[in-house]
Amino acid sequence: MTVAIADNESIESERARADVALAAAGDRDAFERLYRGNVNRVFSLCVRMVGNRTQAEELTQDVFVRAWQKLALYRGESAFGTWLHRLAVNVILNQRKSEGRDRKRFGDEGEEVEALPHSASLAAPGTGIDLEAAIALLPPGARRIFVLHDVEGYKHEEIAELLDITAGGSKAQLHRARMLLREALNR
Amino acid sequence: MTDTTMSCERVDALLAGYLDEEAPASERRAVELHLATCLRCAALVRDLERIRARAGALAPLAPPRDLWPEVGARLDAADA
């Protein structure tokens, strides 16, 4: 029922708003409720962006520690989940920048691969691999852009700003990512 | 003017804009005319559209363990 769903969503967002206010005043229980309500979305973003579960667990923790520290700056202009998601993207990208300061520029990162590597652990021969596994095998630069655009719904102009590349570069990397995924999924 | 003789290579070059609906209407029509008669390009577009749709519908993933105890410990340390 549409009305019932809308009512539930509105109750949920009311609760989240109340918890944000409590957490900003130092209420750890309220912050834990916010954590529990958002952790899967944050972890999904982290694991898909970095392609590594262990690193994603660390980053997920970093995001919530950062959120706790920054909560007083949240003004409620957007939903808390949206604010947290943006914060998570920044934490992930800053981590990559600090790791790769002496590497190549962000958008150029990732070797020129012709095809994604085969991974015996992903699937039996001939059965193909699933999309999650194939995303994890993408070169880092192409993977970040694919996740931000096709999974998370960011526009090329937003991605360009986040990654300090051109919108054209974002489009080219996205196409490359999709072609690599197609090849991997059709094996 | 609509290009009814667009090559597969030309379609490849225009595909990204076509898929993300950023191509001008005349270019879209030219690609669609080509797709109507080219099985190779039609299959490519179908696959890429499927990948994009599946990516947008991926379900959230849960962490393999509860991370809250570690987050809580880090908040304690940060607040100390």
Please say whether the beta carbons of A37 and A93 come within 8 A.
no
**Chain B residues with CB within 8 Å of chain A CB:** 15-17, 19-20, 44, 47-48, 51-52, 54-56, 58, 60-65, 67-68, 70-72, 74-75, 78
Mean pLDDT of the residues in chain A: 85
Low-confidence ranges of chain B (pLDDT < 50): 1-3
Selected residue with higher pLDDT from B10 and A8: B10
Residue of B nearest to A32 (CA): B68
Dihedral over Cα of A79, A80, A81, A82: its sign:
positive
Enter the tokens of residue B56: 């947008």
A149 touches B55 (CB < 8 A): no
In this predicted model, what pLDDT tens digit does every residue of A85-141 receive, in sequence order?
999 999 999 987 777 654 554 444 555 666 777 654 444 444 446 999 999 999 999
pTM: predicted TM-score of the whole model, two decimal places: 0.84
pLDDT in tens, A128-171: 469 999 999 999 999 999 999 999 999 999 999 999 999 999 99
Q: Which residues on A lie below 8 Å from B16 (Cβ)?
A: 171-172, 174-175
- A112-125 per-residue burial string, b: 16 or more CB within 10 A, e: under 16: eeeebeeeeebeee
The encoded tokens of residue A87 equal 């914060």
Complete DSSP assignment for A135-146: HHHS-HHHHHHH
Chain A (135-154) residues lying within 8 Å, Cβ to Cβ, of chain B? 135, 146, 150-151, 153
Whether A183 has its CB under 8 Å from any CB of chain B: the answer is no
Helix axes of B39-56 and B25-37: crossing angle, nearest 10 degrees: 120
Contact between A164 and A104 (Cβ < 8 Å):
no
Predicted local distance difference test score (pLDDT) of residue B59: 94
pLDDT of residue A96: 77
